[in-house]
Amino acid sequence: MDAVGSKRDTTPNAAALAQEIKRHQQTIEQLELVNRVVERVSHAVVITDADNRILYVNPAYEKMSGFKLSHVMGKKPSISKSGRHGSQFYREMWAALDQDRHWEGEIWDRHEDGSIFPKLLSIDRLVDEAGKTRNFVAMFYDLSQQKASEAEIERLQYYDSLTQLPNRSLFRHRLQHEFEIARRQQTCVGVMLINLDRFKQVNDFFGFPVGDQLLVEVAERLAVAVRRTDLVARQPYAPERDPDVVSRTGGDDFAVILNNLKTPENATLAALRILDAISAPFTLQAGSETLDDIFLQASIGISIFPDNAASVDALVRSAETALTWAKAEGGGELRFFSERMNQNSAARLRLESELRRAVAEEAFTLYYQPKLDVTTHRFTSMEALIRWPQGDKMVSPADFIPLAEETNLIVPLGAWVLRRACMDTMTLGQQLGYVPGIAINLSARQFRQPGLLDAVRDAIEASAIPPEKVELEITESMVMDDVESAIETMRALRDLGVELAIDDFGTGYSSLSYLKRFPVNTLKLDRAFVGDLPHDAEDAAITESVIVLAKTLKLHVVAEGVETRDQLAFLSEQHCAYVQGFLLARPGPLEAMPDIFCSGFT
């Protein structure tokens, strides 16, 4: 009985034990499975105790951080702290863990070799049934490649591929950002637009690769020339705000945002540094050839927020207007947009309306300035100068000629000047008994117009003037903008029988190798070199050189702006062929020309 009863009592215990063993076995298998997953997972895993001391790290942690388990066991995770986050950052992290038992976010950490890297970190606080902390489990993965990809996408989207400067899109975004800061701090923001004068000539002379080199060097100089505290194109995570930004907005155009300006004079200093930096000679490489002493200059337009405009578009337009004024001065200048320019905008609209009406009605007149043959002391030719009478006054050509260029009214106006000047010359010739020469200025836009040849041909045929008596004056800058096309146009004009002169010679950047290819007859020495003759040694040397050069190339020289007998005597000694200026004869209407031509000059 007892034996049987004992056997009956132990059977349930054996079954329970077997069930318990089975559960333990399943738990072991589950733990082994979890362990295998944790060991092989690509995310780094760190387990710490309640005091946040490391109990375990997986192989992914060792690979990402460089720290081995044996080096970190029993230490706190802060051993890999990067130092990029302040105490407030960590206080907020621990507050979230205390309240929510979870925190997640981007954080910078340190490799064992000392280099830092970004990671996405997730931390969970594990508690027991009483709510007491048992462990912390952290998981993270390296964001370096993702950040690099994001940076590359941002670079392609917001940065110029050639100079690596911010492009137009980022420039406008940053400008809007600076507006908001300026409003809060009650400061000013300046926009500086920079255009390289006659940059196209570099591409024409040396090719686009050299032009690209030059743009890169200009970008580097701009980065240095702005205020010494400036940073050029920092990444968004930079700890400090960029003081100023230099951007390439297209072609040979650059822009600078100047923030925290106290007065416009601050912008002036930066602009002057830029002009000086760009005017210094460049050394470039064209294949195996080194190009030394390549000179360049820039024009700068500046507008100020909030004085000139309150929006990005309006402020940029204001700077563009100021840049146009700087370019109109001949380049190498800086100009501010001012309220005066705003007021002048309305006046400009009125002037444009009046100009259109005047062109349609041919409400202009021509004055003529005679040219003296230095050898015979007789006037043999004259230059046509347009005048616009309004009531009892004359509108200055400096006011309406640039406007005529901008509006393309210069084309019909130039055609009228050609016809009128040729007809007036033939009228004067009937009184003199011979046909004098007539010099007529061509504008840049007129010179590039396809209809120029027809306009010249029509003027010659309508007036019956001998073509060789017509001399068309073009400037160096007009020719050098597109040399090959300009030479083609000049040759076509010469085929009509007219003569050509290079006006304002010496003030541009023409190459002697191109000059000998130009089918021109005359060089006009700019008044800038005549004004201080014969006392200025440099001007005297330049004048002598131009005359010798012209004789070598079998060209005539006309010196303009002669106002003293000392100037005339010096030019005569140098055998300058022709002169003109107030000393000899002031510009006047056609009616005054017969007496001047007949009396000569003594």
Q: Reduced to 3 states, what is the DSSP secondary structure of residue 202?
A: helix
Question: 323 and 193 in contact (C-beta within 8 Å)?
Answer: yes
Q: What would the DSSP string read from start to end of 27-46?
A: HHHHHHHHHHHHHH-SSEEE
CB hemisphere CA count around 569 (13 angstroms): 5
Question: What separation in angstroms does the CA of 125 have from each of 104, 138, 349?
Answer: 12, 9, 73
Residue 583 CB partners (closer than 8 Å, separation 6+): 562, 563, 564, 565, 567, 568
DSSP H or E run through 47? strand 44-49
Q: Which of 429, 366, 384, 383 is nearest to 580 (CA)?
A: 383
Q: How far apart are CA 17 and CA 8, in angstroms?
A: 15
| pLDDT at residue 233, rounded to an integer | 29
Q: Which residue has the tokens 């300026």?
A: 182
Residue 312 CB partners (closer than 8 Å, separation 6+): 172, 175, 176, 179
Residue 187 CB partners (closer than 8 Å, separation 6+): 181, 259, 260, 261, 262
The series of mean pLDDT values per 10 residues for the chain, 602 residues long, is: 51 71 67 69 89 90 88 89 88 92 92 89 91 92 81 72 86 88 85 90 84 90 67 31 68 88 72 87 83 86 88 91 86 79 62 90 95 93 94 86 85 95 96 96 89 94 96 84 86 95 70 76 89 89 90 91 93 93 94 92 78
| pLDDT at residue 152, rounded to an integer | 65
| pLDDT at residue 337, rounded to an integer | 87
| pLDDT at residue 398, rounded to an integer | 84
244-250 vs 334-336, strand pairing mode: unpaired
Q: Which residue has the tokens 């230490």?
A: 75
Q: Which of 108, 106, 140 is nearest to 123 (CA)?
A: 140
Question: 524 and 473 in contact (C-beta within 8 Å)?
Answer: yes
DSSP one-letter code for 330: T
Q: How far apart are CA 461 and CA 476, in angstroms?
A: 28
| pLDDT at residue 133, rounded to an integer | 92
Q: What would the DSSP string read from start to end of 467-531?
A: GGGEEEEEEHHHHHTSHHHHHHHHHHHHHTT-EEEEEEETSS---HHHHTTS--SEEEE-HHHHT
Q: Which residue has the tokens 């720290």?
A: 67
Query: Which two three-digit tokens encode residue 204?
Result: 């024409």
Q: Which residue has the tokens 């333990």?
A: 24
Query: Which two three-digit tokens encode residue 123?
Result: 């931390």
SS3 content of the chain, % helix, strand, coil (to 5): 50, 25, 25
Q: How far apart are CA 23 and CA 25, in angstroms?
A: 5
Count of other CB atoms within 10 angstroms of residue 254: 27
Q: What would the DSSP string read from start to end of 424-478?
A: HHHHHHHHHTSPPEEEEE--HHHHH-TTHHHHHHHHHHHHT--GGGEEEEEEHHH
Burial class (CB in 10 A: 0-12, 13-18, 19+), 77: buried
Query: Which two three-digit tokens encode residue 90?
Result: 């960590």
Q: Which of 271, 273, 267, 300 is nearest to 189 (CA)?
A: 267
Q: Which of 22, 89, 85, 97 is nearest to 52 (CA)?
A: 97
Question: 23 and 15 in contact (C-beta within 8 Å)?
Answer: no
Length of the chain measured in residues: 602
Question: 244 and 259 in contact (C-beta within 8 Å)?
Answer: yes
DSSP H or E run through 333? none
Q: How far apart are CA 562 and CA 577, in angstroms?
A: 13
Cα 574 to chain center, whole Å?
Answer: 44
Question: What separation in angstroms does the CA of 383 have from each of 375, 425, 437, 491?
Answer: 19, 10, 8, 22
Phi-psi domain of 233 (left: phi exceeds 0; alpha: psi -120 through 50; beta: other): left
Residue 311 CB partners (closer than 8 Å, separation 6+): none
Q: How far apart are CA 466 and CA 493, in angstroms?
A: 14
334-336 vs 297-305, strand pairing mode: parallel
Q: Which residue has the tokens 């986050």?
A: 85
